[in-house]
Structure 1
Amino acid sequence: MYSTGADLREARVTMDTQPEYVQVGLRKVATEQGFTEGKYRIEFESGSNKGDGFMGTMSKVFIRQEDRKELVLLVKDMPENLARRQQSIVMFDREAVAYSSVIPALEKFQSDKGISVDEGGEGFMRVPRCYYTHSNMEKLEAVVIMEDLREKHFRMWNKYVPVDYEHTRMLLEQLGKLHAISFAMREQQPERFFAFKRLIDPMKIMIEMDPDKGIDKLFGDVYQRAIVTLDDAKDAKVKELMKKLEDKVTKHYVDCVTVDDSDPYAVIGHGDCWINNMMYMYEEESPVPVDIRLIDWQLCRYVSPILDLSYFIFICTDAKLRAQHYNQLLDIYYSSLCDYLERLGGDAKRQFPREAYEAQWKKYGRFGLIMGMLVVPMICTAAEDLPDMDKWIEKMKQGDEDVEFEYATEEKAAKLYRARMSGVIRDVARFVYLTD
């Protein structure tokens, strides 16, 4: 059910083939970690498989010195293709901000409360250790250098398999803690917390900067593909509800990520809570996870907490698990938030009462469907069948009318997609989240 992460390809790159800003970052890390200039060497391997990273490239890096243990890192860099760099720079910049500013602020707030955020501690710090970030939007430069969690035996879940109850429970408990910090900071350190209002959703920024309406066309294409997964007779009522989104998917997305209606309950959210953006640790051969790390903070943003929840629950679990445990999963998250907020000196009954939590679900629960139309096809597509992202982005930038979102097109993937996508639509409709 889980994978060991990306298998490393044999193709290697060298230090001198890297952009100067990546070389500067690696040398800085080496110095800060005690390596002696002139005595260490830096070696590269590919750090991910095709499809593991949607927006960028990953390299596994070894800093080695004869008289000391090596340091193993992951370098997350911009794609080489210019069109993709232009498309993804906003997200890369956001991840640099998340690791250099947002996450340290969350860590300090908890530490000041006497809560341990060290590895295995009771606080929320379930993120990779970050050694270095750099971003320059004008020059289209960005890099994040972090620990390789595989060295600590963290593994990724197999994205083709719907996530089970235990893995979902662990994530929701951690999201409860993450979001609780926002509620506590909002009340106790308002000036510091409200500085994070600048974390506007990166995709919203991309939509506003997209004169050719490529994202609008993309949402239209994935909507048309999603609605035909429903049965004309059996799903007639659901299909009518689904038509509320027709030609309005982009608007619904923007509405969900705009915080005007979510305050005073907006939080600092992870933003991209699908299964490839988290890694789990296990004891020996046990299938039950004992720890988790949230990776890829490129969509970190100030929004309703429901967006993280709806995104994961509807996209990564299946209809069977939701039928058995949906209300329980919502309770697990809310209980975790309440308990941790109290630990931080807050009061959920006053700051985020249950009725407000449920009202936020009614308002933003459809977000999992909106993102599901984009992400579920990727989940269902085998690595070897993934499209060439460079060519796809180039066509999008050029306004090619015939460009298609070519995921889950093989017979096996298409069958899996129909089952998963129709299940998402039916459940979002069943929970009355498909509203105007």
Structure 2
Amino acid sequence: MESPRELLKQARSRFTQKQIAAHLGVNARTIKRWEARENDPPKFAAPALQQLLLPIDNPDNSAGEFSFIDLFAGIGGIRLGFEAAGGRCVFTSEWNEPSVKTYQANFPDTHPIIGDITKVKASEIPDHDVLLAGFPCQPFSIAGVSKKNSLGREHGFRCETQGTLFFDVERIIEEKQPKAFLLENVKHLLNHDKGRTFEVILRALRDKLGYEVHYKVIDARYFVPQHRERIIIVGFREKTGFSWNDLQLPDISKRAPVMKDILHPENGSEEPEGHYTVGKKALVNEDKYVLSTKLWRYLKNYAKKHQAAGNGFGFGLVGPDDVARTLSARYYKDGSEILISRGRKNPRRLTPRECARLMGFDRNGRKFVIPVSDTQAYKQFGNSVVVPVIETVAKIMRPHILSLVDAERSGVRQLPIAV
């Protein structure tokens, strides 16, 4: 791809500064500063400028029924959910380099990925219909709060390194006025600081920004064999008929997802993969994933100690017909929250491929690319979303997003929300 400056030069031979600014979603003065070399066009302007130079009848110029940006993108779980609903990603931000590597491996034709969103001016982010953000949850999670308390550190909005990243979401929404947004976080966000943290978020979204806001805690248990409760916050710039009553969760009364649905079958029905599985039957690599006797003894003794003290801490041992605990980013340490029973033998950890299945990344024939080490893969999947949960929410958001997109194209704006 040519440099943003060269593409800008080509675009200016065909379009005015105002037309280019409108396409990029920036102020015309920004284009003027770029041309005057007062500052350089950002890297993420290149694909948008290249798209502007495509022939009008090129189908790629209008791919997707609505556009979205992917903030705190991780490895792209939320993006997958909204692409399944007909969306097109126009901007991505993720600062963690191993996550960027995985993201690029699975979205190879994507635009450049921007690192630190706190250093990006909201005015320079492309226009978009929907803002998506799984903003960092550690400052609000039960484990994260406990850890920070024990270390004497601040948490929530007083955690300056992560908690305040919500305000970057806020400033971008305020500047770009997307038609809708979806934010995802841990369930404990609702109760953090006795509910005051969540109240701050709601006031910002509803009262300050004027959005119609809906939120719901959804357990991924309906889609995958894992108890994983996360809060989904949905907002619309105008009044819509959106309702959580339209959310159709799978009926698990007769057949619920269980662990054998995501475990390696170990019967030769799948091909061996890297160091995950070996031999003709694609058996799980015992040298890599079975717990050592020393570690297994330690985990059992640790569980006994806490059970005697009346605490609930301990390992989670599951069989093929069970449902797992929540996969966390710390899984790489000992795998204790989800251990696969092997009878009288020492249990084993999940392989990264099984984690991809447990999080819904491997689904409907899609095999997610895992280009990183096991340690990084465990962190990435543990920090991610369960893809089919997002797909389901995106599905019920879609008609309302398209209604707002169509209204804008026709020049009709709905009544503002009463605040």
TM-score range relative to shorter protein: under 0.3
The TM-score normalised by the length of structure 2 is 0.27
Q: Considering Cα pairs closer than 8 Å and 6+ residues apart, tell me whether 1 or 2 has the greater RCO.
A: 1
Higher helix content, 1 or 2: 1
| Bigger Cα Rg | 2
The TM-score normalised by the length of structure 1 is 0.27
